[in-house]
Amino acid sequence: MLPRSSGVFEPIKETHMIGLSPAMTQLKKEIEIVAGSDLNVLIGGETGTGKELVAKAIHQGSPRAVNPLVYLNCAALPETVAESELFGHVKGAFTGAIHDRPGKFELADKGTLFLDEIGELPLSLQAKLLRVLQYGDLQRVGEDKALTVDVRIIAATNMDMRKAVTEGKFRADLYHRLSVFPLFVPSLQERRDDIVLLAGYFCEKCRIKFGLSTIALSPAARALLETASWPGNVRELEHAIYRAVIIAQAESRSGEIVLLPQHFSLEGETPADPAPGTAPTAPLTSLPIRSLAEATRQFQYDYIRYVYENSGKVWAKTARQLEIDPGNLHRLARKLGLK
């Protein structure tokens, strides 16, 4: 039995994928079909649409569900450690390699390897990944002996992969191997019928989490949510509900919460075409008074999202523009709930 690392998902009993719109009903059908097969899957879709949730659902619905689902974010991998992360290394392979260490592929043996943000995988590693997919064998860094693994790949990206292939950023042969069964998760704009359902689901999650007796959406708040543009999709909706509940709770004396339009600060939506070089800033007079820590957090959230949207939604480029290490950006973005 191979050791589990922090990259292995906790076992999940159920994957709640909310949505009854025609687009989601179709996606659920496709998930069911592909889960039972052993094909590699490429999941596309905008940020926050639920690609990771889809990956978990596919693994859970597959015969591999009794084995691990291992997660690897390709955007958070500095090129120097990427090969060792994927394929492992032996003691003494490089400075700092003080023990033998299995890579994610070995950890995912007989299970599934979820390669998130696959479009960010450096070209040099794309060739190595292709080899493993073709022959099922790999070598730990510093080892001559080959190991055989049986791994199903589920990859996800919010990039236009065909464009990346045309531009020479992604190998065509690897793209074809990965996208044997492509799935596309629609944006919230394309399934507006699901907004209220999702909002209700997140309200219920909040109610349980905060031990409240009821959380209701006022008709005006409901209309606001239904017409908002949601560039951050389901994740943005989830966070908007959480924030609104916290604000409403601070105002309410009982455990009964009614969410009103003023509890939502959807002005965080960046305009479609911001003037080049200008970041969105709210006039200071319109800002709510809160702790410096919370205000800083909100600014980081808005500003990183702004730079990300303006760098073609490429995390590596965002890190370069912000002049911070991609790994640190990845961690910060996760902490802020941007990823």
Ligand X SMILES: Nc1ncnc2c1ncn2[C@@H]1O[C@H](COP(=O)(O)OP(=O)(O)OP(=O)(O)O)[C@@H](O)[C@H]1O
* Contacts of 180 by beta carbon, 8 Å cutoff, 6+ apart: 39, 40, 41, 42
- Report the distance separating Cα 223 and Cα 221, nearest Å: 5
CA dihedral sign of residues 189, 191, 193, 197: negative
Stretch that binds Mg ion, among 48-56, 74-82, 157-165, 172-180 (CB under 5 A): 48-56
Contacted by 40, from Mg ion, ligand X, none: CB < 5 to 8 Å by type: none
In contact, 110 and 150? CB cutoff 8 Å: yes
Residue closer to Mg ion, measured from CB, 52 or 83: 52
Residue closer to ligand X, measured from CB, 48 or 326: 48
Q: Measured at CB, which residue is nearest to Mg ion?
A: 52
Contacted by 145, from ligand X, Mg ion, none: CB < 5 to 8 Å by type: none
How many positions of this chain bind Mg ion (CB under 5 A)?
A: 1
46 binds Mg ion (CB under 5 A): no
Residue closer to Mg ion, measured from CB, 52 or 106: 52
In the complex, least distance from residue 313 CB atom to ligand X, rounded to whole angstroms: 8
Contacted by 158, from ligand X, Mg ion, none: CB < 5 to 8 Å by type: ligand X
b/e code 298-310 from CB counts within 10 Å (16+ = b): beebbebbbbbbb
Can you spell out the DSSP letters for 143-182? --S-EE---EEEEEESS-HHHHHHTTSS-HHHHHHHTTEE
Contact residues: ligand X, CB under 6 A: 16-19, 45, 47-53, 158, 234-235, 238, 339
In the complex, least distance from residue 244 CB atom to ligand X, rounded to whole angstroms: 16
Residue closer to Mg ion, measured from CB, 24 or 149: 24
Contacted by 53, from ligand X, Mg ion, none: CB < 5 to 8 Å by type: ligand X
Instruction: Report the candidate in 179, 173, 31 with the shortest Cα–Cα distance to residue 115.
Output: 179
In contact, 257 and 248? CB cutoff 8 Å: yes
> Measured in Å, how far apart are the chain's first and last C-alpha atoms?
31
Residue closer to Mg ion, measured from CB, 54 or 203: 54
Token pair recorded at residue 23: 């687009």
Residue closer to ligand X, measured from CB, 149 or 245: 245
Q: Using alpha carbons only, what angle is made at residue 302 by residues 300 and 307, rounded to the nearest 5 degrees?
A: 90
Look up tokens 């070209």; give the residue: 123
In the complex, least distance from residue 217 CB atom to ligand X, rounded to whole angstroms: 16
- Report the distance separating Cα 303 and Cα 307, nearest Å: 6
In the complex, least distance from residue 337 CB atom to ligand X, rounded to whole angstroms: 8
Contacted by 119, from ligand X, Mg ion, none: CB < 5 to 8 Å by type: none
Binder to Mg ion among 52, 85, 190, 194 (CB under 5 A)? 52
User: Element (H or E) spanning 114, and its range?
Assistant: strand 112-116
Instruction: Report the candidate in 121, 153, 159, 154 with the shortest Cα–Cα distance to residue 44.
Output: 159
Residue closer to ligand X, measured from CB, 156 or 224: 156
User: Element (H or E) spanning 251, and its range?
Assistant: helix 233-251
Stretch that binds Mg ion, among 46-54, 107-115, 159-167, 249-257 (CB under 5 A): 46-54
| Coil, helix or strand at residue 117 | coil
In the complex, least distance from residue 52 CB atom to ligand X, rounded to whole angstroms: 3
In the complex, least distance from residue 156 CB atom to ligand X, rounded to whole angstroms: 6
Residue closer to Mg ion, measured from CB, 140 or 330: 330
Q: Measured at CB, which residue is nearest to ligand X?
A: 50
- Report the distance separating Cα 107 and Cα 58, nearest Å: 18
Rule CB under 5 A: which residues touch Mg ion? 52
